[in-house]
Amino acid sequence: MENVMGRIHSLESCGTLDGPGLRCVIFLQGCAMRCVYCHNPDSWCVTGGKVIGSEQLVQDVLSYRSFISSGGVTLSGGEPLLQPEFTLSVLEGCREHGLHTALDTAGGVSLKKCDTVVAAADLLLLDIKAGEPELFRQITGMGMEHTLEVLNLREQEGKPVWIRHVLVPELTLNDAALHALGELISRYKCVERVELLPFHKMGEYKWQAMGMQYTLDDVPPPAAEQISHAADIIRQYTGTVV
C-alpha cells in the first residue's frame, strides 16, 4: 500500500454499531454537510483532527486484530469521501491483511472524486438523510444528487449496501417522509438492510461549546412506538429493517 497522509477525528477500538461484528471504527476529519442533528460538529473542519499516515493507521488497526478478526474495520466521519486517496489507502491496507472493510458515508462528495473508494469497500453504510430533495437540503444544506450517485454505483457493481436513516420527530419522523424514503430504497437490489437510528442529543453540548445555535433543543428523542411505526412503513418497501 502507498502511504498517504490524512486527518482523523478519533478511533473507536471495539465498535458494535457500524457494520457486522466487532469493529475498529475510524472517524475521519472533515464534512461538507451541515446536518442540523449532527452529534460531531467538531468533525466538520477539514483542517482539524490528527494528521497521520495511512501506513501508521493500518498498523494501529492491526493492534486490535485479535478482537476484530470476526468483524472488521469501518471508516466513518465526518465524511471519509472528502479524503479519497487517504481513505482508499487505508481500505486497501486493511484488506491486504484480510480484514473486512466498511465505509460509512453520507455521500456528500461528487462521485468523480471518489468512485474508486466507493467501489473498494466490502460493505457500504449509506446514511440517507431524507428521501425527498427538499427535506434533504433542509437537513444538510446540500442537494442529494451525490448521495444517489454513490448508491447508483454500488447498484451497478452489485455490491452490498446498508441504509442508515435518523428518525427525528417533527423532521424525518412522519409518514410522508418515510414513504418517500421507502419508495427510493425499493428501487435498489443492492440494499441488504435498513437501520433506523433514533435521534438523540448527546452531541448538543458540542454545538454550545463551539458557539453554534442548536435548532433542535426542543425536539425530544422518538418514543418506542414511533420507531416501531416507522419500521412498519419501511418494511412495506424493503426487507430487513432494524
pLDDT for 29-77, tens place per residue? Answer: 999 999 999 999 999 999 999 999 999 999 999 999 999 989 999 999 9
How many CB atoms sit inside 10 A of residue 129's CB?
28
Q: In the prediction, which pLDDT does 118 show?
A: 97
Q: In the prediction, which pLDDT does 1 show?
A: 77
Q: Which helix (H) or strand (E) holds 241?
A: strand 240-241
- The span from the CA of 231 to the CA of 167, in Å, is 10
3 state DSSP class of 14: strand
Residue 169 DSSP code: B
- The span from the CA of 43 to the CA of 123, in Å, is 23
pTM: 0.95
Domains of the chain: 5-241 (3.20.20.70)
How many CB atoms sit inside 10 A of residue 63's CB?
10
Q: In the prediction, which pLDDT does 240 show?
A: 86
Contact predicate 111/147, CB 8 Å: no
Which has the closest alpha carbon to 104: 128, 74, 140, 68?
A: 74
For the stretch 84-114, pLDDT in tens is 999 999 999 999 999 999 999 999 999 999 9
How many CB atoms sit inside 10 A of residue 194's CB?
23
How many CB atoms sit inside 10 A of residue 235's CB?
13
CA-derived radius of gyration, the chain: 17
